[in-house]
Structure 1
């Protein structure tokens, strides 16, 4: 199936349902202006939208159950202060490879802990961009879809909250979707998911502070917990401490790192992550190594977002294999030329891998070995080499 045939197949399917009496319309635009925000904004201009009170949003790879609207719309009907009902993502290809299992662990924690806590305590969380139902009047009152950043979903959630609207997340409302199984696709997705929130924080922090419709507690939660700690500090701390500073301590014997900072606290945090997907608890070591290896990419994207440099507005559609076409497409891939070596190699990751390998070897030869730091350094350097050479994912 080529990209050119997909819209035609969707159009034919819509026509088939229309002939059976279903009120359905197929729309497509001929440009990518504003990317997803532009497409959503264009869709809201159609006349039939003015006859509706709510809008449900799904990305192309999402498969909602038939009762999705029956489980979401009543919340909006009975609570006029509610702007959004958000469902949880489940993944049809989580067992496809190690990389998808590790993604499932991170996203499991995101939904089970971060989204649920934000919804139940301050009625604020970042809209996930799909698997949700919005009140159209809330969208219009909040200014509609804005393409000022690459995270239009988080942007509209912030602006709606600042105008007094509440958001609801339902953890047992599960919608099937798909994880990227190509490493380059994951890199593009993680760049957007890190750069966009940092850029939004830069642009919206002042408006959050000045808002008169939000309590002081909610302002502190949005600025400190949601944005500053989770979208900024978490990425910088992971990269700087575990990939730069901690390895460098082996070169300076007079510098000592407390065990609680080097091992106990990270172990506790890692166990909290496992709450989201207990079935993958035996993969925690791999998850830590992979997340640290991805921290360089995220830190780079974070800097771009905060200082609006480089690829701050880059939007690359995340490639998905397609669960229904998985077998067919994998067979096609085997018949295609291999990806060029230079397109698969990531130089910065290889450089950091070499740095970690050097520090690990130095610790074995000259170190005190009281914390067995070289074990972590050698394992982490291996992870950076695997990522740097692109030997991860499908």
Structure 2
């Protein structure tokens, strides 16, 4: 038997093992989440003398949503003498003048709001946040990205959570203004809902590390300062600061009951930019913090394990693309060497991970979309899995670049004021006109899996048929959305 056969089986086995262990960690979070629901009634309301709060709004060329953002921040129901708002505006287009006029209107109404302008975009978002922080003495800082519309009671619901002096950051749940805009936004909402219910609550319940999600959260200034301030040496400055702070001993709190509405990327290339930033940045943070997580003595074993998989979350896309590409050689191996069937049967046990993940996402689905029927989940979950697989090549590339240490610029996700099923991004500023080279490779992979499907049906090998059907749908969807959006 050729050595390459054992190499293929070994690599595929390692990839499936990681996915299986990842699913077991998700199962642990699900168990913690259910515990949190049972303990919710025991939580008592906290009292806290309202302190001064700085609200930071980092923006860069947000023509279609900057007025909406300014209005939402200005309408926050909080004592005026204790509220300071900074529009951290690095814009280079007409949105800067639009924001200037809007801010002036609110200033005339007595709102303490200022447009902060830097000489350059050094450090991108992280640099803007630190620059603004140095201009204020507020002990608490709330942050909202341009696509968010915080509820007027946001601060009144979150600030009392800092009654415990050990709490360094409070993160709230993202809600979705355009959940039903398209299949793309439905799938994103489905995935994010799981993160902002089961994952974040489960980690918090288990006293494990959670992360600030970059927006819709509040920081204690002392926590930021103690952790070393904002840094731009990774693309995910939020995850980086979260780990530096928690490794210093600060505690974080996730408030599932407090939501902040935001706009989901509706254009595939905008989504890809966001996913690239998240996945490459996560890999960069893993390089930066994984060793310290493993070696820090005051962490429990369970917290180390959860932090390990938390930091390596993005690598799941690397293992997915490995499993996908090797699935066709495995069909050949299985047909040529029936004596290896016992190994394949053992590998099938690892497919239990998909059952675990189905339960994981179903719990979040029922929690967040109570009016939706089970039949919706039966098509939405496979669609989510398929499109996640279709994004795996793009995201795996981002992970590899993150581990390589290659620096790339921060590319923000454009917003177009899309609410519900209304609005369009076609022919608007910031929409992409280019078709990235990787899109053509995604199209080729779609053809590769079509060929694999035809071959295995022809020889009567049905084991990988469901996987290849999902891969075909996923890569075809990503390819077509990318091509369509690139042609706008």
- TM category (shorter chain) comes to 0.7 to 0.9
**Shift in Å, 1:11:** 2.1
In structure 2, do the counterparts of structure 1 residues 11 and 143 end up closer, same or farther at CA, with 3 Å as the change threshold? same
Partner of 1:273: 361
Is residue 360 of structure 1 aligned with residue 453 of structure 2? yes
**Shift in Å, 1:146:** 0.7
Q: Alpha carbon RMSD of aligned pairs, Å?
A: 2.8
Unaligned runs of 5+ in 1: none
SS in 2 for 1:25: strand
Partner of 1:350: 443
1:228-243 mapped onto 2 (5 Å cutoff)? 228=312, 230-232=313-315, 234-241=316-323, 243=324
Partner of 1:385: 476
Is residue 322 of structure 1 aligned with residue 417 of structure 2? yes
Which of 112, 135, 151 is 1:23 aligned to? Answer: 112
TM-score, normalised via structure 2 length:
0.72
Unaligned runs of 5+ in 2: 1-62, 65-91, 367-371
1:47-103 deviations in Å (ceiling 9; x for gaps): xx12x1101000011011111000111111x11110001110000001000000000
1:31-70 mapped onto 2 (5 Å cutoff)? 31-46=120-135, 49-50=136-137, 52-70=138-156
In structure 2, do the counterparts of structure 1 residues 328 and 90 end up closer, same or farther at CA, with 3 Å as the change threshold? closer
Which of 373, 376, 397 is 1:300 aligned to? Answer: 397
1:287-312 deviations in Å (ceiling 9; x for gaps): 11111111111111111111213xx4
Which of 388, 393, 400 is 1:291 aligned to? Answer: 388
SS in 1 for 2:364: coil
In structure 2, do the counterparts of structure 1 residues 336 and 119 end up closer, same or farther at CA, with 3 Å as the change threshold? closer
- How many Å separate the matches in 2 of 1:75 and 1:180? 31
Contact 1:360–1:375 under 8 Å retained in 2: no
**Shift in Å, 1:272:** 1.6
- How many Å separate the matches in 2 of 1:193 and 1:96? 23
1:1-394 mapped onto 2 (5 Å cutoff)? 1=63, 4-46=93-135, 49-50=136-137, 52-76=138-162, 78-211=163-296, 214-217=298-301, 220-221=304-305, 223-228=307-312, 230-232=313-315, 234-241=316-323, 243-252=324-333, 253=335, 254=337, 256=341, 257-258=344-345, 260-261=348-349, 263-278=351-366, 279=372, 280-281=376-377, 282-309=379-406, 312-323=407-418, 329-330=424-425, 339=433, 342=435, 346-369=439-462, 371=463, 373-389=464-480, 390=482
- How many Å separate the matches in 2 of 1:208 and 1:364? 47
In structure 2, do the counterparts of structure 1 residues 325 and 382 end up closer, same or farther at CA, with 3 Å as the change threshold? closer
Runs of 4+ residues deviating >6 angstroms: 335-338
- How many Å separate the matches in 2 of 1:75 and 1:292? 39
**Shift in Å, 1:218:** 6.2
**Shift in Å, 1:13:** 2.2
**Shift in Å, 1:355:** 1.8
TM-score, normalised via structure 1 length:
0.88
SS in 1 for 2:142: strand
Contact 1:250–1:367 under 8 Å retained in 2: no
In structure 2, do the counterparts of structure 1 residues 218 and 40 end up closer, same or farther at CA, with 3 Å as the change threshold? farther
Between 80-89 and 245-254, the greater mean CA deviation after superposition: 245-254
